[in-house]
Amino acid sequence: MGNNKQLLNFINETNPDKLQVEEDFGLGYVRLNTTEAQKRQAKDDIRDVESVLIEMLRNSRDANASTIYVASWKQNSKRNLVVIDNGEGIPGQMKNLVFEPRVTSKLNQINYDTYGLHGRGMALYSTAVNCEYTKVTYSKPGGKLTAIKVVADNDKLPEKANQSTWPSFDSSGSIKDGPHNLIRKSVEFNLANKKLDIFLGTQTEILSEMFKNDEFDFKKKSAKSIYEFAKVLELDISLRNCQRVFHGQISLSRSILEIIEKKSKVKTKGALRSPAIASFLGNEELENILKKIKYLVDETGKKSFIKTSEDASISKVGNKLVITLPLEIEE
């Protein structure tokens, strides 16, 4: 370590125009000095939960992942995200250091995309500063399976109110409109990085998709082994649901690109020309309607251990009320 530091000092002092490094951790990880990190400053800082997800997707892409799984769920005012990829992984001794400022594995690799420069060692640090909880929950030795969990308090870091609606697409698969929520940000990212297979869904859906794709390194496949691995990933899933995953009773999520392909083939109707009757209803009235419908569904679903998600939404579209009630299994 001493020799590495002397070499870095020599490079920095004799050739200040070269890449500036403050500390070498080995294994390809370094801490950039402040000047170099500022040169790599991204266009946008972390300002909402959607931008947190984008930074995590960029990290997975830059780790040469080909498949990314995103489990998303909400508990009260807290958004939980677990991003799992099959990229190069994070060495055990770097699991905590990657959340420190200016730490990066991209010493000689700076990626520029629509979000700005990536490789300044600030994305995970900014995420950690703005979120309530960040952790590398799993990193398989040698890579090929890494999981990072983030918990954001929406009282401090906002997100779009409607988190259940997919954007609409034209016949070419381009986005026409839709809320700029986690779904849309994932879609935009996948459209810009079409070599990636990105799956976005509930905890149970993502666990089921991973099990189908044989992503788990189990000595013995069983519901209990799935449950134990879910706990390691810090997915909040019951043993009962893991039994359903094991027996193939969970509907599998499709990749984002597959969903886009299907949705872009659906013909959309023209805009309504009649008066927008729904506009006469105020926001408070809409909230009361949604609350009553959620109550009825929750009461009816008790015997089947089904409840409505926190992401339920109601919106006014012309002469209609559009109510979206994502369902989830009662844990």
Report the distance separating Cα 192 and Cα 57, nearest Å. Answer: 12
31 and 99 inside one domain = yes
172 and 312 inside one domain = no
237 and 281 inside one domain = no
Residue 43 corresponds to which tokens in the numbers above?
């266009």
Residue 80 lies in a domain: yes
Q: Could you write out the DSSP letters of every residue in 37-96?
A: HHHT--SS---SHHHHHHHHHHHHHHTT-SEEEEEEEEETTEEEEEEEE-SS---GGGTT
159 and 52 inside one domain = yes
User: What tens digit of pLDDT does each residue of 272-295 get?
Assistant: 333 456 666 777 777 888 888 988
CA angle 180, 157, 90 (to 5 degrees): 90
Q: How many CA atoms lie within 13 A of 287 on its CB side?
A: 4
Residue 70 lies in a domain: yes
* Residue 94, amino acid: M
**CATH code for position 109:** 3.30.565
Lowest mean pLDDT among 73-87, 173-187, 256-270: 256-270
Identify the band that residue 315 occupies on the pLDDT scale cut at 50, 70 and 90.
confident
pLDDT, the chain, mean: 81
282 and 250 inside one domain = no
Residue 298 phi, psi dihedral angles, 5° rounding: -65, -40
Range of the domain at 308: 274-329
User: What tens digit of pLDDT does each residue of 146-166 get?
Assistant: 999 999 999 999 999 999 899
206 and 90 inside one domain = yes
Percent of the chain whose predicted confidence (pLDDT) is above 90: 39
The number of domains in the chain is: 2
Whole-number pLDDT of residue 266: 54
Report the distance separating Cα 206 and Cα 177, nearest Å. Answer: 26
pTM listed for this prediction: 0.71
Residue 156 lies in a domain: yes
